[in-house]
Amino acid sequence: MPADSTCFRPRCLSRIAGVTEQDILDRGIELIAISFVDNAGLTRAKSITAAKAQAAATRGVGSPHAFSIFQGDDGMSTATGFEAVGDTRLVPDLDRLAGGLEGWGWAPGDLYDQDGEPWDFCTRSFLKRQTARLAEAGFEMKMSYEHEWYAETSLGKPAHSTPAYSLSSTAEAAAYMREVAMRLAAFGVTVDQIHPEYSHGQMEVSVAAADPVAAADNCVATRHAIRTAWPVTGIRPSFAPVSRADGLGNGCHLHVSLWRDGKNLMGSDPQRELGLTSEGNSFMAGVLREYRALASLGCACPLSYRRLAPNRWTGAYVCWGVENRETPFRFIRAGKPTRPDGVNAEVKVLDSSANPYLMAGAVIAAGLAGLADGIELPDPVQIEPSRVADELGLELLPENLLAAADALEASQLLRGALGERLHDAIVAVRRGEAASAAQLDDDALLEAYRWRY
């Protein structure tokens, strides 16, 4: 700890005034994992005892600058020049403290510089800034991350077999699903749906929508809760974009809706087709305009680009559609126009290698730019897009990590929203990881990343 650490004063001091060690112990929490998500999409953590919670929330826990340039393979990009120099303070948000299983709790953290200011590379702080911009413009958003993962027993057997989405697969994985649902509840995550998915061993969970920061926190908590079921059930989860050579990939789709004065602007205008208001239309158009750059944030792993292909319900072209699962940006109606609350847009150009704070913040920034420019969506694509790509002049999404890095580097809008330093660090991490991955054949690449997410 630096000599002047007693002078460190993060802006969040007031929120922990009433939290005591005994309060935490009474919740069954003896140890707390404080998490943050790096620019490669890996959730890093430092752990403290309950006795140190007040001190950590007051002074933070030391964390090196180098974490901002870690790659998904734990290599470090060399583009920023501070690989071994500099420290930040990782401060737990004890308002979000959850858990209490096996004596462990979890809290998301914010990264501050040594003067107590939010650090330029703190992705949770980036999302907070974008959420504040949204509020200043008079809007709110509800978001939710929908997770897919592969589950495998200690004998290397998938946790369930076919038929896909079936009651028999549900029975096969029933005990595992019950354990996962219980743990999600303990980590403060409300389950909407949980079921076996298409491929052998593939699972899916949808959780309740929340404000953007809470939704990103819930994304981290969801993965962590599912991982904590491994020692208890013997079933290991993989959130890698591709977990098995013979299986489909795993996505982590982001559902978003835009609100003002209690109305869902994506489904509350009875005079417009689909109920999509002019503001909702412009917001979605702004997101679509940045879709190639957003792919770099949503698909941070070299394996991510094996998923993005036609006829896989992932999308491979920049377009949107109404309930069309082959488009990477999907508009979802909630039934009759008189029930607009559930209408949302699904951002599908991401998987669990995405940093949820970066992705949510970038979507807000892109949507706000669309609102400011008053742009409108093109016509929706209501067929498999590859069949009409030439006719409609549809752009391909990036086909690999290097192309995605180029798209992000070219985005002046996201450069401005992220800030030069964070933007350039993300680009450097993508390029560094692409260079490392180029040295591996397909089998080695799959094995290298299978259990990293």
Give the integer Cα–Cα distance in Å for 422 and 68: 8
366-387 residues labelled b (16+ CB within 10 A) or e (exposed):
bbbbbbeeebebeebbeebbbe
Give the count of beta carbons closer than 10 Å to the beta carbon of residue 26: 11
Q: Specify whether domain 5-121 bears CATH 1.10.3720.10.
A: no
And the tokens for 290? 């940045």
Q: Which residue, 61, 77, 72, is CA-closest to 110?
A: 61
- For residue 433, is it left (φ>0), alpha (ψ between -120 and 50) or beta? alpha
User: In this predicted structure, what is the pLDDT of residue 8?
Assistant: 55
CB distance 25 to 105 below 8 Å: no
Encoded amino acid at 405, one letter: A
Question: What's the Cα-to-Cα distance from 310 to each of 245, 305, 330, 361, 390, rounded to whole Å?
Answer: 17, 12, 15, 28, 14
Q: What are phi and psi of 181, to 5 degrees?
A: -60, -40
- Each residue's pLDDT, cut to its tens digit, for the chain (453 residues) gives 343 444 455 554 434 446 788 999 999 999 999 999 999 999 999 999 999 999 999 999 998 888 888 888 888 887 555 566 778 999 999 999 999 999 999 999 999 998 899 999 999 999 999 999 999 999 999 999 999 999 999 999 999 997 888 999 999 999 999 999 999 999 999 999 999 998 899 999 999 999 999 999 999 999 999 999 999 999 999 999 999 888 788 999 999 999 999 999 998 888 888 889 999 999 999 999 999 999 999 999 999 998 887 777 778 899 999 999 999 999 998 765 556 688 999 999 999 999 999 999 999 999 999 999 999 999 999 999 989 989 999 999 999 999 999 999 999 999 999 999 999 999 999 999 999 999 999 899 999 999 999
- State the span(s) of the chain assigned CATH 3.10.20.70: 5-121
Distance from C-alpha of 179 to C-alpha of 189, rounded to nearest angstrom: 14
User: In terms of Cα–Cα distance, which of 289, 362, 389 is closest to 329?
Assistant: 289
Burial of 136 (0-12, 13-18, 19+ CB in 10 A): exposed
The residue ranges of DSSP E strands in 312-414, in sequence order, are: 320-322, 329-332, 344-347
129-148+205-213+245-449 is a CATH 3.30.590.10 domain? yes
How crowded is residue 213: how many other Cβ atoms within 10 Å of its Cβ? 22
Single-letter code of the amino acid located at 162: T
Question: What span, in angstroms and rounded, lies between the C-alpha atoms of 203 and 211?
Answer: 25
Taken as a whole, the chain contains a residue count of: 453
The residues, any chain, with a CB within 8 Å of residue 232's CB and separated by 6 or more, are 179
pLDDT, residue 2, reads 40
**Which part of the chain is CATH 3.30.590.10?**
129-148+205-213+245-449
pLDDT of residue 309: 75
φ, ψ dihedrals at 353, nearest 5°: -85, -5
Query: Which residue has 């669990």 as its token pair?
Result: 352
Q: Label residue 259 exposed, middle or buried (CB < 10 Å: 0-12, 13-18, 19+).
A: middle
pLDDT of residue 215: 98
109 three-state secondary structure: strand
Q: What pLDDT, on the 0 to 100 scale, is given for residue 80?
A: 55
